[in-house]
């Protein structure tokens, strides 16, 4: 580590010759780009587009892009919440079950209690927020590690879902058909539009607001954040609630899109694990303190491209998991390596 206490520019004697201006500008630009954590994932995403388009001309058709968008969007929305929670130093494996439960909550509210469509949807989101609150409460107040807490709530919610629904899918409630269903998922690009909106909002929340700063602080230096007077309990619980609400929202979008309320929405742990994978591939550290929302979106895009491209090429879906596993491990290893570089790096 170079220790420049109070000396302005370095002595110069042992400095290499400065490169020519044009090249220096180029180098600074590449440097700045590569230092952004999202950069490498973006390159991979673009590389995959080029590769799959070269292999099969269908890849970049509107129809196929819509497929990719629909595969990316709901999980990316969950991944956004996961990023915030991981940055604050916690994890939630129950979110996929919240996604499956939320459409049922809406269905019960409308079809059993005759609540109008919009309030019913809001009620489902509020209940999801409550589930997030309980996760936060058990984790922080009762000091149960969040992985264990949410593992418990995962099974609990699964039980609630199966006993109340008898594991049968149901139709989308009549009052939501039409505009609501179109806007909330059934429209061709609706899920993608919501996904981009969520990504944009939470990117700003994480990088440009007090909430984001405190989320990073609580995950990066829990003791220090508390000593600075930041209420870690509030920040973490809030992020648990955000994940749950985003999970519920993604579940509702999915239900409207597939035009059925199905206990298998989210595939049990699948949406959760894919979202965590997307966050990790996007450069979010599980240790807390750092992560990017846009990275998670790109990570999810990479996974969706892979799955879609493999389908088009006729490669067995089974080998997709092989690739996903390698992608997670490779990006984690690269992350470790890069962050060490960044830390030691040029100031």
Partner 1 sequence: MEAAPTQALRVENIAKRFGALTALRDVNLHLNQGEVLGLIGDNGAGKSTLIKILSGFHKPDEGRILVEGEEVALRSVEHARQVGIDTVYQDLALVNELSVYHNMFLNREKIRWPLLNNRLMRRLAKQHLDDMGVNIQDVTVEVAKLSGGQRQAIAVARSVYSDARILLLDEPLAAMGAKEGTLILDLISDLKARGTVSIIIIAHNYAQVLQVCDRVNVLQHGEITFDKPTSQTSQQELTDLVVAEYRAGRAARAANNRRSNP
Interface with partner 1 in residues 185-204 (CB under 8 A): 204
Asked if residue 340 binds partner 1 (CB under 8 A), the reply is no
8 A C-beta contact, residue 106 and residue 173: yes
Interface with partner 1 in residues 256-295 (CB under 8 A): 289-290
Asked if residue 308 binds partner 1 (CB under 8 A), the reply is no
Asked if residue 221 binds partner 1 (CB under 8 A), the reply is yes
CB of 201 to partner 1, least distance (A): 11
Interface with partner 1 in residues 81-120 (CB under 8 A): none
CB of 36 to partner 1, least distance (A): 14
Asked if residue 336 binds partner 1 (CB under 8 A), the reply is no
For partner 1, the binding residue among 78, 109, 216, 275 (CB under 8 A) is: 216
Distance from C-alpha of 237 to C-alpha of 258, rounded to nearest angstrom? 32
Size of the site for partner 1 (CB under 8 A): 30
Asked if residue 220 binds partner 1 (CB under 8 A), the reply is yes
Q: Which residues are CB-contacts of 200 (< 8 A; sequence separation ≥ 6)?
A: none
Neighbour tally for 187: CB within 10 Å: 16
Distance from C-alpha of 81 to C-alpha of 93, rounded to nearest angstrom? 12
**Sole window of 13-21, 113-121, 189-197, 223-231 interacting with partner 1 (rule: CB under 8 A):** 223-231
Q: Which residues are CB-contacts of 86 (< 8 A; sequence separation ≥ 6)?
A: 219, 276, 279, 284, 285, 286, 288, 291
Asked if residue 347 binds partner 1 (CB under 8 A), the reply is yes
Q: Which residues are CB-contacts of 335 (< 8 A; sequence separation ≥ 6)?
A: 280, 283, 285
Nearer to partner 1, 279 or 327 (CB): 279
| Helix/strand/coil for 166 | coil
Distance from C-alpha of 313 to C-alpha of 64, rounded to nearest angstrom? 13
The residues of the shown chain that bind partner 1, judged by CB under 8 A, are: 1, 3-8, 204, 208-210, 213-214, 216-217, 220-221, 223-230, 289-290, 343, 345, 347
């Amino acid at each position: 580590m170079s220790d420049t206490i109070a000396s302005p520019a370095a002595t110069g004697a042992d400095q290499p010759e400065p490169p020519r201006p044009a090249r220096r500008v180029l180098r600074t630009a590449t440097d700045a780009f590569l230092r952004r954590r999202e950069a490498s994932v973006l390159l991979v995403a673009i590389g995959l587009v080029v590769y799959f388009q070269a292999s099969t001309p269908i890849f970049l058709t509107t129809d196929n892009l819509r497929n990719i968008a629909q595969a990316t969007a709901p999980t990316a929305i969950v991944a956004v919440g996961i990023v915030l929670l991981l940055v604050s130093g916690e994890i939630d494996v129950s979110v996929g079950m919240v996604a499956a439960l939320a459409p049922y909550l809406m269905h019960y509210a409308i079809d059993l209690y005759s609540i109008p469509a919009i309030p019913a949807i809001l009620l489902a989101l509020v209940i999801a927020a409550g589930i997030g609150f309980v996760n936060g409460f058990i984790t922080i107040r009762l000091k149960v590690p969040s992985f264990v807490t949410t593992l418990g709530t995962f099974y609990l919610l699964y039980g609630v879902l199966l006993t109340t629904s008898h594991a049968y899918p149901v139709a989308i409630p009549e009052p939501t058909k039409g505009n609501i269903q179109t806007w909330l998922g059934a429209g061709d690009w609706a899920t993608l539009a919501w996904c981009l909106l969520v990504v944009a909002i939470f990117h700003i929340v994480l990088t440009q607001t007090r909430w984001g700063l405190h989320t990073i602080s609580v995950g990066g230096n829990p003791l220090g954040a508390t000593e600075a007077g930041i209420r870690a309990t509030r920040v973490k619980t809030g992020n648990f609630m955000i994940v749950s609400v985003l999970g519920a929202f993604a579940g509702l979008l999915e239900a409207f899109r597939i035009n059925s309320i199905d206990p298998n929405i989210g595939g049990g742990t699948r949406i959760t694990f894919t979202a965590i994978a997307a966050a990790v591939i996007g450069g979010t550290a599980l240790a807390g303190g750092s992560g990017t929302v846009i990275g998670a979106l790109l990570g999810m895009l990479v996974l969706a491209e892979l799955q879609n491209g493999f389908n088009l090429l006729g490669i067995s879906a089974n080998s997709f998991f092989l690739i996903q596993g390698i992608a997670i491990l490779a990006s984690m290893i690269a992350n470790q390596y890069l962050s060490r570089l960044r830390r030691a790096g040029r100031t």
